[in-house]
Structure 1
């Protein structure tokens, strides 16, 4: 059953989590004004899936059940699935800034792959994957949203998880019972924590045997006994100047697990350190791929707001080359990292579980680009918008009888665009690029899904540098490089077909028009 945004908000009333925001207890998450922008942002993923024109992108047929599910809950099977997931994330983030629910998708895909691998290592008899499938199908049938409780508090970064002075800086298993496990510890950064249905607890790093208690993955209801959520408000609710983030935002929470019991049917990893490392890496790859779509959606907001500010200021990009160049640079940054996401989808790898994994090199390059270029995106948006973005008076002056008329007279730009419109656009741009909320977008872009250093390691680990060295070695062997000059022709040794681009064989032309999964082509 696909829920609406209103259904989702109402469903939160079934839960009674222990939540604190700004130092005060929250009685009812669904009615808390400080969390309303976050609930609205997640709600976008529900309503968009019910729009007829977006159904092909926002829904999918789950291969293990045959049921139609929200794209944010789907297990990818082909390169097309990955591409449409990327498009779906971009779409919902165009509307909400950050729709958050794509983290659910990324975690489900990682656990799907890891539990299948666990069963394979146990000769196919352990039942981890069947246990997860039963859980997955219930989540899909109820159209739930799951919070990813992955990043541990970590404590002393110089010490291993199992050697921390305070063991509760990592979530770890403290007891194993006949009917389940007991976990304890702290997850420090949980997106949307107060308004999730359940948490997927996952390891945040690779572990050694001595850290095995921390290699745990399980599903915990948001209101399970022993769970406490300490969160910040979502967006900037109630602020008159928050033209965008007053409506859509994101809360993050510290989630503390105080001897929480988890029955076996909700446990998907327990002490298997190698599988835990695989799960962590798999999640990072899926999530970085999704982040590309999310920040492309945010880039679309900046491009649109920038274009409207240019118009309201009375400028013409075709006549003012420096404005055009800045807009082209903003477009180039956005579409460059999105193109990496498209490449990661197209060159995906199908792993033994049957799930499609984005190409790790392109996924990590795309995420690294957006993480470091988010500041340039904001700078360019500032450049094309002008100083009014941070210089204009507060929105209260719009209704001040002593100043409103004078401000409207002098702060107008083009004669055919009312001053009120120009001021509204400037405040939207301020909200997106120069406010507390804007700084938050920068930080989550930089560190969300791992630090830039982690992405660099993955790029280096997965890039075929050896193949490039072998290529150069073959050129040296063929005499292409000889005393510093390039030999342009070597009859019989250059190539078999010469330098013309080969045509696609007639029988393959129809196939070439359709996207091909690399794994399918290999088969």
Structure 2
């Protein structure tokens, strides 16, 4: 049965994770004020799944069980699924800023593909284990944290070369009934208020580092798990018009000899498939990030329009304001259009699910990662300097200053001064506060750095098609000396194509062997 936000909050009380925030132990995650904005944000994904008008995008029929599940837990089977997922994420993020739960979706889809591939290559039973676990998660309507980014230590060294092996999560011991894992995941979104963690590799591994290629599910309160987290948003701050209600905690999660039974282990040393899982998850997640930042763009566009109005300006009459707003709209809808294209041109996976097109997903994510600062700048331009110069909200009720401020801080006479001040503080919260800097960084680095996206675009782009097109126009054909080697795959394969070497010269013909007469 699908939960509501209230049900979700109550469900957290069934867990007793070891959590520290701002140096103090947290007794109850569900009741901790410093984590409330994060719990509220995830709660949006639960409540909208009960709204009749949002049911088509917020719920889906899971093919492997026939049950209706929350969209954030669905394995995508068609391009329509991907489009609806994109719309669902945009919806929840335009309300919450970042609803976080879509990471659960991205990890489930990546693991679904990787376990099938591992079974086909190694004869394992990971896929059935995962399907059983998936149905448990869907039936319980859980939210899962993605424990993917390792602490990494010295970035110039591979995991097995680190002075301290615990900077990467790895298999410490293999037992007849499961494995024991140890190590640290450094950036886990929403860590304190998850139900379970999906531990996943964050990079490709070699055979020598096979013990670092591990994927498994671990309850947040499993023995040996410690979460060291930061507050979610800006709880309790009167000036935080948005992030006092909605925010995101991130946590360092330490796994100190944590036992994981076999039925929750989905990869245990299969390093090549671990690399595939990392890439697969990244493509799903970058596709989701497009929807998330489009929702954030909606917030900036709406707030900017309100501020322009409160300032007494009009886009129809003031061209510089109109141009800035059009640029903000263009940026937002451009990267969202990449998400739509990625959905439409999806690829069917052998596991039976669909993968967003990697080129369009990575281009969309690269655009939002590098344009987030321009989005902030444009919101600043159309809003004016009041968003950082406005007195704090305590002055709103100060009898010594309230009257004077009300008289001089009004813009248009038909718009209350209070409305102008509220919108100003909202834009300040979204674009120039500590929380705003956080939005910038997660946009830039969330789901991988821009360099990672550039590599994926280059690796997956069908360069051969473009070369052959131009060569056909030039009537040249492929170079005869065989020197060209293009590593881009083209649309005919998924692993990359290389020009084969020239065939060896044929041996000198031999005279025919006489055949004896019968």
Taking structure 1 as the reference length, what is the TM-score of the superposition? 0.91
- Alpha-carbon separation, structure 1, partners of 2:418 and 2:159: 55
Equivalent position to 2:441, from 440, 443, 448? 443
Does residue 1:12 correspond to 2:6, yes or no? no
String of CA shifts for 1:46-70, please: whole Å, max 9, x gaps: 0001000000000000010000000
Tell me how far 1:127 sits from its aligned partner: 1.2
* Alignment of 1:86 onto 2:86: yes
Is 1:170 matched with 2:168?
yes
Kindly provide the CA deviation profile for residues 392-428 of structure 1, in whole angstroms up to 9, marking residues without a partner as x.
1011100100001100100000001111110000000
Give the equivalent residue in structure 2 for 1:379: 377
1:336-379 C-alpha deviation (Å, 9 max, x unpaired): 00000000000000010011000000000000000000000000
* 2:313 matches 1:315: yes
Residue number in structure 1 paired with 2:114: 114
Q: 2:327 maps to what in 1? A: 329
Could you say which residue in structure 1 is the equivalent of 2:512? none
Describe how 1:153-192 pairs up with structure 2 within 5 A: 153-192=151-190
SS at match of 2:257: strand
Match of 1:419 among 399, 413, 417: 417
Deviation at 1:466, TM superposition (A): 1.6
Q: 1:121 Cα deviation (Å)?
A: 1.0
- 3-state SS of 1:16 partner: coil
Give the whole-Å Cα distance in 2 for the aligned partners of 1:34 and 1:46.
Answer: 21
Instruction: Name the residue aligned to 1:236.
Output: 234
Aligned counterparts of 1:339 and 1:408: Cα–Cα separation in 2:
43
Unaligned 5+ segments in structure 2 are 478-491, 494-518
Once residues 129 and 15 of structure 1 are traced to their aligned partners in structure 2, the CA distance between those partners, rounded to angstroms, is 27
Give CA deviations for 1:194-231 in whole Å, capped at 9, x if unaligned.
00000000000000001101000000000000000000
Alignment partners' CA distance in 2, 1:405 and 1:113: 63
1:277 matched residue in structure 2: 275
Distance 2:124 2:408 in 1: 73
Cα separation, 2, equivalents of 1:465 and 1:393: 56
Alpha-carbon separation, structure 1, partners of 2:440 and 2:383? 19
**Residue correspondence of structure 1 range 67-466 to structure 2 within 5 A:** 67-122=67-122, 125-466=123-464
Root-mean-square deviation over aligned CA pairs:
1.1
Query: C-alpha distance in 1, partners of 2:20/2:294?
Result: 32
Corresponding residue of 2:505: none
Q: Does 1:26 align with 2:36?
A: no
Larger Rg: 2
Q: Deviations over 1:76-126 (max 9, x none)?
A: 00000000000000000011000000000000000000001111113xx42
Q: Find the aligned partners of 2:124 and 2:443 in 1 and give their Cα distance.
A: 38
Q: Secondary structure at the match of 1:331?
A: helix
Paired with 2:72 and 2:406, the residues of 1 have a C-alpha distance of 45
Which structure 2 residues correspond to residues 463-478 of structure 1 after superposition, within 5 A? 463-477=461-475
1:7 and 1:266 mapped to 2: Cα distance? 25
Q: Deviations over 1:419-452 (max 9, x none)?
A: 1110000000000001000000000000000000
Residue 199 of structure 1 aligns to a residue in which SS?
Answer: strand
Residues 296-320 of structure 1, C-alpha deviations (whole Å, 9 max, x = no match): 0000000000000000000010000
Q: Structure 1: where are the runs of 5+ without partners?
A: 480-517
SS in 2 for 1:425: helix
Map Cα deviations across residues 214-251 of structure 1 (whole Å, 9 max, x no partner): 00000000000000000000000000000000000000
**1:51-70 alignment, distance < 5 Å:** 51-70=51-70
Query: 1:87 & 1:194 partners in 2: Cα distance?
Result: 27
Give the whole-Å Cα distance in 2 for the aligned partners of 1:49 and 1:116. 29
Structure 1's consecutive aligned runs of 4 or more residues displaced over 2 angstroms after TM superposition are none
Count of residues paired in the alignment: 479
SS at match of 1:259: strand
Q: In structure 2, the residue corresponding to 1:3 is in which secondary structure?
A: coil
Cα distance, 1:470 vs structure 2: 1.0
SS at match of 2:341: helix
TM-score by length of 2: 0.92
Cα separation, 1, equivalents of 2:46 and 2:407: 43
1:478 offset after TM fit, Å? 7.3
Partners of 1:119 and 1:155 in 2: how far apart?
Answer: 32
Residues in 2 aligned to 1:386 and 1:160: alpha-carbon distance in whole angstroms: 49
State the secondary structure of the residue aligned to 1:393. coil
Q: How many Å separate the matches in 2 of 1:328 and 1:367?
A: 20
| 1:486 alignment partner in structure 2 | none
Q: Give 2:42's aligned residue.
A: 42
